[in-house]
Amino acid sequence: MDKGTIIKELKFKAIRSSGAGGQHVNKVSSKVELLFDVEHSLGLTNLEKERLYIKLANKLSNENMLLLQCDESRSQHKNKDLVIKRLFEVLKTALKVPKKRKKTKPSKSAIEKRLKSKQKRAQKKVNRQKPNLD
């Protein structure tokens, strides 16, 4: 993943932020929308693209575009920085390859210890019973 190339490929759109806020919200476009074309990106390898298609299937549009929005700050520049950070976090988590699980067996001593403790518990319960006087 080449961050510099990906940043050059990003498309931004400033929109008016929703919600309460009065006059300021009505006249300033502080919400930032980020569009990233996964399919035509030169900053990703084909293997990385395939992994993104699988991992981000529910976040990608029909044209394999990733759309992220940010309206946390009242500043358009801060929102732009935040949405770029969020994009790289999403890409990082999606491209992370999980470790393969190694099968393990309990050691012989652990098995023996477990069986001995079971026997001890069983013996304790037998000792609690009334003696059989037959």
Give residue 60's pLDDT. Answer: 87
pLDDT tens for 79-109 read 999 999 999 999 999 989 889 999 999 999 9
CATH of 3-95, one of 1.10.10.10, 3.50.50.60, 3.20.20.80, 3.30.160.20: 3.30.160.20
Cβ atoms of 102 and 72 closer than 8 Å: no
- What is the model's pTM? 0.69
- Edge-to-edge strand ranges of the sheet holding 11-15: 11-15, 31-37, 65-70
| HSE-up of residue 94 (Cα within 13 Å, Cβ side) | 24
Mean pLDDT calculated for residue range 30-58: 89
Beta carbons within 8 Å of 88's beta carbon, 6+ residues apart: 3
pLDDT tens for 55-77 read 888 888 888 888 999 988 888 89
| pLDDT band per the 50, 70, 90 thresholds, residue 111 | very high
